[in-house]
């Protein structure tokens, strides 16, 4: 990537907590020069792909030394410190291998990283089932009253983590838990492979039925068509008719549903895209069953109960109560929005009747937004070059946190791609073949205190898949991509600004329904005119983005906000229900999904479709998808109380940093939220914590 390599270098005046850190540790990063090659991500082992093997071996050897140290009856403080070093040592391999597997263009690097990942994960299983370590942690927990609050929390968490792996069970039950975990991993892999192998296709003839703005997404195909002639000999001619094959992967499916004016094309693409891969219907059923059995062995009534217990919500009962409250709150406005779309469709079609079918919704909503706000995607994109957006990230950290990005040279061998950007934050922003397909934040090294005078600074990677030129000034982002960039940067800031004693709590290493709050909060910055005018400038004229254009963008976003929110509530309810207390083996999953759709949305379920067969969040977040909605509510309250009046205020930044971001997972989430936003940001419900929804509802104008 030809953009600069960035390093977050923190001004000494801004960071009281860092006063004890040696000056050369901070400034050495900004001024370092390189004469000899370093390794991938700065790890000396990784100068070549074969370096992954000794990287793993050394991590295992060092961990073995630490295990011996822990088992020699050390005090609680030393046990916690040594356990955290084991975690840091092993996670350095796990996280670097994961990033390499997902992003490196060299197949040999990917293959060696995959081998390293398999080997280190086998070792992780050994660590997680090591009774000597478990006994040492339990003993430390009994003696931890003299430790710091963070260390006490760390010891308790370690013991709970061991037990979530089943170490406390009898040998027969532990053996079954281990087999179920292997089965669950295999089913998740099979589910994802099926999505790649069977994305679904629809062939459309003639080619004129596909608008030109969608041609880049489809593949030309031809078929022979007989022509009837007046030739008395009876011979006929044939003509090659051109058509298009549409692959119904999610991106193409969305684009066709948005922009194809042909009702029948949209219908075929919708049905096909929501019916593949059929094999995953059975895979999902087996996954639900395996997770349910696992949870019951672990003493929970359902996988949802097992999954939610460590989180703020604590129980599925709290989650379901929250989701039903949200569903009820959003229902009236979503019905009103649907009626408007139906009326618009009837006017366009010149009919006084006719239903709004599932394949109509996106098309007519897009048309209504365009009609009401006269938005042109190319005009919006002209203000959001990638270089402008990176400048926007710099504006955020400078204004809020008194931190700066400084350009430093990339050492030979440090990048995983000839176009990589580096600092403490690696930026890998362009799509390329074989790369992780979405946008994500990868932790490479967690923050932790090494000694009274040394601190390990966090290193993270922000990975996106923007298309276009390798010149960031020439790449134009649509606003959804800008919002996504800011979302992932929120995760990155959580890691970069973390100043925990233990890497076990660094940055996003916190409970699931708390971890998404910073990313949701920073989405607001991508929509606020006061922020956008600081960096969003026309690529050729340099003109500041007009306020009226931003207001139109906001209006279009809000036009069907209730419908969008209702859809997310439905997804979360599906997730909770499928992993809840259902009779097993599970019945017809699609009928469960259809029932929830009828009860909690205004949308029609099409018989024969099974959308859940490629909703991979069911794998990654099993019973945790509600976390996005929790985060959305918490972020709305924080924005309104802290940021809305002056979003770039250093006072706001100081509060966000010192009361929230720097603590990672080292303090109780409830305490952090209350300290940051005051009373009312959450309430207690059935032993768990539920976010206050009033700020989000007020923002969306859901109240009468």
Helix (H, G, I), strand (E, B) or coil at 11: coil
End-to-end CA distance of the chain: 50
User: String of b and e for 42-60 (b: at least 16 CB within 10 Å)?
Assistant: bbebbbebebbeebbeebb
Indicate the helix (H) or strand (E) that contains 452: none
Catalytic annotation, pick one of 150, 488, 516, 612: 488
What is 271-307 written as a DSSP string? Answer: HHHTS--THHHHHHHHHHHHHHHHHHHTT-SSHHHHH
Q: Does residue 97 contact residue 114 with C-beta atoms inside 8 Å?
A: yes
**What residues does 8 pair with on adjacent strands?**
405
Tokens standing for residue 115: 């081998």
Tokens standing for residue 416: 């995983």
User: What one-character DSSP code corresponds to residue 602?
Assistant: S
The residue ranges of DSSP E strands in 187-232, in sequence order, are 201-204, 219-227
Q: How far apart are CA 558 and CA 185, in angstroms?
A: 39
Annotation says 264 is catalytic: no
Beta-carbon count within 10 A of 467 CB: 11
Q: How far apart are CA 29 and CA 8, in angstroms?
A: 9
Q: Does residue 22 contact residue 415 with C-beta atoms inside 8 Å?
A: no
Q: How far apart are CA 448 and CA 456, in angstroms?
A: 5
Q: How far apart are CA 91 and CA 504, in angstroms?
A: 10
Tokens standing for residue 522: 């920073």
**What residues does 445 pair with on adjacent strands?**
459
User: In which residue are the tokens 């890998």 written?
Assistant: 428
Residues contacting 475, CB < 8 A, separation 6+: 385, 386, 387, 430, 466, 467, 468, 469
User: In which residue are the tokens 């003493």 written?
Assistant: 299
Q: Which long-range contacts (CB under 8 A, 24 or more apart) does 466-472 make?
A: 466/386, 466/429, 466/430, 466/431, 467/430, 467/431, 468/430, 470/1, 470/2, 470/419, 470/430, 471/2, 472/1, 472/2, 472/3, 472/385, 472/386, 472/387, 472/390, 472/429
Q: How far apart are CA 650 and CA 668, in angstroms?
A: 25
User: What one-character DSSP code corresponds to residue 584?
Assistant: S
Active site residues: 488
């Amino acid at each position: 990537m030809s953009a600069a390599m960035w390093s977050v270098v923190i001004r000494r005046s801004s960071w009281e907590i860092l006063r004890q850190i040696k000056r050369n540790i901070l400034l050495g990063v900004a001024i370092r020069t390189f004469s000899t090659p370093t390794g991938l991500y700065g790890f000396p082992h990784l100068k070549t792909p074969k370096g992954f093997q000794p990287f793993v071996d050394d991590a295992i050897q060092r961990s073995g030394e630490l295990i011996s140290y822990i088992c020699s009856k050390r005090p609680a403080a030393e046990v916690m410190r040594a356990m955290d070093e084991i975690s840091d040592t092993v996670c350095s391999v796990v996280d670097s291998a994961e990033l390499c597997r997902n992003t490196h263009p060299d197949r040999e690097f990917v293959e060696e990283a995959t081998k390293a990942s398999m080997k280190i994960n086998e070792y992780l299983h050994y660590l997680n089932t090591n009774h000597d370590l478990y006994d040492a942690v339990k003993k430390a927990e009994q003696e931890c009253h003299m430790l710091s609050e963070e260390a006490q929390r760390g010891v308790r968490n370690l013991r709970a983590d061991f037990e979530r792996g089943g170490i406390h069970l009898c040998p027969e039950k532990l053996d079954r838990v281990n087999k179920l975990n292997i089965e669950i991993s295999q089913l998740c892999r099979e589910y994802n492979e099926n999505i790649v192998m069977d994305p679904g296709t629809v062939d459309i003839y003639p080619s004129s039925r596909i608008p030109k703005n969608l041609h880049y997404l489809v593949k030309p195909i031809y078929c022979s068509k007989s022509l009837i002639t007046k030739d008395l000999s009876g011979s006929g001619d044939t003509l090659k008719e051109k058509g298009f094959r549409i692959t119904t992967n999610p991106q193409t499916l969305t684009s066709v549903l948005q922009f194809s004016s042909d009702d029948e094309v949209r219908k075929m693409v919708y049905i096909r895209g929501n019916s593949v891969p059929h094999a995953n219907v059975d895979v999902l059923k087996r996954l639900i069953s395996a997770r349910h059995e696992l949870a019951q062995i672990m003493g929970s009534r359902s996988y949802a109960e097992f999954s939610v217990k460590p989180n703020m919500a604590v129980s599925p009962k709290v989650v379901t109560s929250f989701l039903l409250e949200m569903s009820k709150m959003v229902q009236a406005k979503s019905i009103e929005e649907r009626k408007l779309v139906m009326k618009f469709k009837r006017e366009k079609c010149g009919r006084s009747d006719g239903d709004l079918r599932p394949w109509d919704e996106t098309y007519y909503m897009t048309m209504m937004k365009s009609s009401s706000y006269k938005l042109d995607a190319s005009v919006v994109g002209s203000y959001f070059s990638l270089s402008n957006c990176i400048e926007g990230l710099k504006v955020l950290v400078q204004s809020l946190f008194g931190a700066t990005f400084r350009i430093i040279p990339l050492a030979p061998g440090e990048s995983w791609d000839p176009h990589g950007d580096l600092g403490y934050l690696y930026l890998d922003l362009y799509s390329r073949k074989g790369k992780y397909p979405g946008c994500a934040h990868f932790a490479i090294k967690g923050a932790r205190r090494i000694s009274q005078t040394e601190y390990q600074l966090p290193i993270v990677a922000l990975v996106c898949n923007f298309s276009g030129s390798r010149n960031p000034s020439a790449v134009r982002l649509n606003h959804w991509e800008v919002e996504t960039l800011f979302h992932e940067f929120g995760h990155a800031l959580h890691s970069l600004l973390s100043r925990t004693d233990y890497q076990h709590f660094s940055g996003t290493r916190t409970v699931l329904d708390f971890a998404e709050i910073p990313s949701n909060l920073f989405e607001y910055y991508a929509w606020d005119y006061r922020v956008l005018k600081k960096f969003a400038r026309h690529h050729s004229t340099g003109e500041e983005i007009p306020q009226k254009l931003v207001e139109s963008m906001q209006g279009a976003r809000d036009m069907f906000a209730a419908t969008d929110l209702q859809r997310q509530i439905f997804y979360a309810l599906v997730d909770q229900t499928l992993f809840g207390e259902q009779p097993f083996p599970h019945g017809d999953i699609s009928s469960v999904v259809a029932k929830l759709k009828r009860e909690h949305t205004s949308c029609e379920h099409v018989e024969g479709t099974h959308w859940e067969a490629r909703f991979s969040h069911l794998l990654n977040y099993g019973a945790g998808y509600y976390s996005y909605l929790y985060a959305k509510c918490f972020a709305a309250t924080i924005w309104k109380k802290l940021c809305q009046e002056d979003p770039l205020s250093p006072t706001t930044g100081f509060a966000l940093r010192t009361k929230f971001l720097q603590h990672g997972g080292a303090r109780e989430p409830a305490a952090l939220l209350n300290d940051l936003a005051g009373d009312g940001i959450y309430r207690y419900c059935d032993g768990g914590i539920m976010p206050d929804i009033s700020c989000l509802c007020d923002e969306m104008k859901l109240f009468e």
